Structure 1
């Protein structure tokens, strides 16, 4: 039962290990949570292949999306005391926060790279298309779904609303840092969210933060920096991602060649063509992909079956640190040696690069330009964060990049065939900066 004001007669509460409780009082939010498109997020992990590195990282996009909603709800409670806050924007904010990741596919970003997809595009299609989500949003008005989609697309007229869900410090980032730290068991992602919310203020185009809360914002920036390098870019996770992407590449290549699968990937056909209809896309989740990987262990194609066995049983590639510019000097010889021993370098010799820019100030006209974080000074002046914080200034605008070369060490150690060639490959690889096991 609901009241005329759109509120549920009784508040619904989700128990949450990160925020303790997630509170739902609006009928709109409760009904969105119940849609099939949102429930699908229970079957998509938040951190892709990270569970192979940190065994606790089994949490889902469903968990995270509820968390982002809860942080947004708390933000709004604080911002409602501001004269610049428009109460009519409340449900747009909450719906956008809840639905911001509803378009993610299996294994999220790894899946997107292979099939050249954009989860935000799918999110907007789910919000505006023929879906249960759209039907629920339509109850708030014919233009309401478009408003929510515009927030996701960062084209919404009210830039303050956009900044609350997509900026250098927003509800999305705050939840995934805290949640991912909790489920991976690390301490890097911890920061004082309650303090940040208390010092947040509504400005015309974005949220700003009282100068007295600067140290809490500094802590958040450094927590994000540590999480990226200690968790998100962990080399073992990247090894699993490399194998995952190569499985999908191989399956698509075999499909294009007319290969007859023992288990036809019917659910993936439209994805392989890179032109899936919305209803086909929504049938995809990680259980579907993992089913095919398990079945493909028995395929006659040796590359596909081997890669699937490696992924399903965690027989990951090893890696060495590498400098791509120097690597190119030995790359042709390495590729030829791999072919000589009967190993396809396109699938078994992979350079993977990761990079992150933890914080940046405003650089007009540059690609992916970012709005800076502003501090509200006691005299009412706004000052960019790195001008006040020595800690943040030290990392501002500094992009860190890491390159690793992945390969199947187990094959190279088997000297029952091509021993000289394999010794040469190992010698070339050892010229790089040390060797590491992806374990």
Structure 2
């Protein structure tokens, strides 16, 4: 029995710029880190195309996953001071934290949108499928992989454990806010995690926080709010995402039309045909994607060639603010004008929308029920955060949405013909708020 929970002879330590050190004592965790599916995360950036906006944002899902594991380890230690977790459930917590992002594909969310994929489903398949990770997890028990997958899927029976990895204040968010702030060089994502962990108290369904630590929690909420609008939804990053998405769409469209590529995209064939296997998926990382983008700069197809040159050399689309009510009035005319000057509007005229709900109170029955953050008063009463904090109340339940219209301004300005059409296009775009 003891061998299932074997400790390493000597603690392994990773030097980390955010948490200073990441400590590994469990043989299970050390073997999971060494699994090929987890090592693949070294080749997938945490922030996708954000490196084209903030040049330091080269950190990976590997970095982040280790960080979430370290925070979870500290949370588990806090819980164990108040109640007993058996050894298997402790390892369930640590394994779920480490593996929560293992199913991410290259360029993550952009990639998912184009190919209608869900990284959480791939995470489940990696944990439960014929993988090195599954082999390692089954050294605990045959049921252990499913327990870990259930935590990530939010179906694990211990709701407290689920809340530590997936809630409005969890190990995942606490790592990525600090890590992304560090690597992008901004100041928005910093908050007092030490204080938050000190005032954290476990309950049956979730972790709550002593009222005396309310200001640290407020700071965390506001850090998240600022990071989304100043970093994650940055318009330049979104321009790069638009071009990346259009490259993948164009390659898929050409494949379906029987186009002959100079460099056949064999890594994409099962994606394009909708027959991708787990093995195919695990062979995809950002080095593979960028190899094809590099090669496709010499393709005969003008659109694919231009989009790849733009992405590889950071010649991104410009943007104007977009008012959806105005957009419907001018969109048909804009599309017609783009087609007339030889720019396919399907690839060169793109509306991108971003929205975020920084904090929400409990809304039972809604599609995404968000468990609110609770403060523990000295009397033992629990109070929902926004009822005690004026700062959080001001943004609670308020979904902010931003719309931008992206287009290749450089191509329009370079036209030596179509002067009238060019003026009409630029005038219409200016009416959108540019």
- Determine if the TM-score, normalized by the shorter chain, exceeds 0.5: yes
Counterpart of 2:79 in structure 1 is 79
Counterpart of 1:220 in structure 2 is 220
Cα displacement (A) at 1:4: 7.8
Counterpart of 1:235 in structure 2 is 235
Alpha-carbon distance in structure 1 between the residues aligned to 2:415 and 2:374:
60
Counterpart of 2:392 in structure 1 is 392
Conservation of the 8 A alpha-carbon contact between 1:14 and 1:22: yes
Alpha-carbon distance in structure 1 between the residues aligned to 2:257 and 2:4:
60
Counterpart of 1:64 in structure 2 is 64
Q: Does 2:23 align with 1:23? A: yes
Conservation of the 8 A alpha-carbon contact between 1:84 and 1:204: no
Counterpart of 2:423 in structure 1 is 423
Counterpart of 1:365 in structure 2 is 365
Cα displacement (A) at 1:84: 6.2
Counterpart of 1:107 in structure 2 is 107
Q: CA RMSD in A?
A: 1.1
Counterpart of 1:152 in structure 2 is 152
Alpha-carbon distance in structure 1 between the residues aligned to 2:84 and 2:39:
35
Alpha-carbon spacing, 1:334–1:8, altered in 2? closer, same or farther (3 Å): same
Deviations 1:164-187 (A, max 9, x none): 000000000000000000000000
Alpha-carbon distance in structure 2 between the residues aligned to 1:9 and 1:258:
57
Deviations 1:77-111 (A, max 9, x none): 11111136555410000000000000000000000
What SS is found at the alignment partner of 2:78? helix
Conservation of the 8 A alpha-carbon contact between 2:376 and 2:382: yes
**What stretches of structure 2 of length at least 5 have no aligned partner?**
none
What SS is found at the alignment partner of 1:326? helix
What SS is found at the alignment partner of 1:141? coil
Counterpart of 2:13 in structure 1 is 13
Counterpart of 1:437 in structure 2 is none
Counterpart of 1:356 in structure 2 is 356
Scaled by the length of structure 2, the TM-score of the pair is: 0.98
Counterpart of 1:205 in structure 2 is 205
Alpha-carbon distance in structure 2 between the residues aligned to 1:416 and 1:39:
51
Conservation of the 8 A alpha-carbon contact between 2:221 and 2:358: yes
Conservation of the 8 A alpha-carbon contact between 1:116 and 1:274: no
Alpha-carbon distance in structure 2 between the residues aligned to 1:83 and 1:16:
30
What SS is found at the alignment partner of 2:46? coil
Conservation of the 8 A alpha-carbon contact between 1:247 and 1:307: yes
Alpha-carbon spacing, 1:114–1:230, altered in 2? closer, same or farther (3 Å): same
What SS is found at the alignment partner of 1:375? strand
Matches within 5 A, 1:127-142: 127-142=127-142
Counterpart of 1:267 in structure 2 is 267
Q: Does 2:282 align with 1:282? A: yes
Alpha-carbon distance in structure 1 between the residues aligned to 2:425 and 2:234:
25
Conservation of the 8 A alpha-carbon contact between 2:244 and 2:311: yes
Conservation of the 8 A alpha-carbon contact between 2:326 and 2:432: no
Matches within 5 A, 1:274-313: 274-313=274-313
What SS is found at the alignment partner of 2:156? coil
Q: How many residues align?
A: 433
Alpha-carbon distance in structure 2 between the residues aligned to 1:243 and 1:298:
17
Alpha-carbon distance in structure 2 between the residues aligned to 1:382 and 1:8:
41
Conservation of the 8 A alpha-carbon contact between 1:105 and 1:112: yes
Cα displacement (A) at 1:390: 0.5
What SS is found at the alignment partner of 2:160? helix
What SS is found at the alignment partner of 2:406? strand
Counterpart of 1:410 in structure 2 is 410
Conservation of the 8 A alpha-carbon contact between 1:320 and 1:429: yes
Scaled by the length of structure 1, the TM-score of the pair is: 0.97
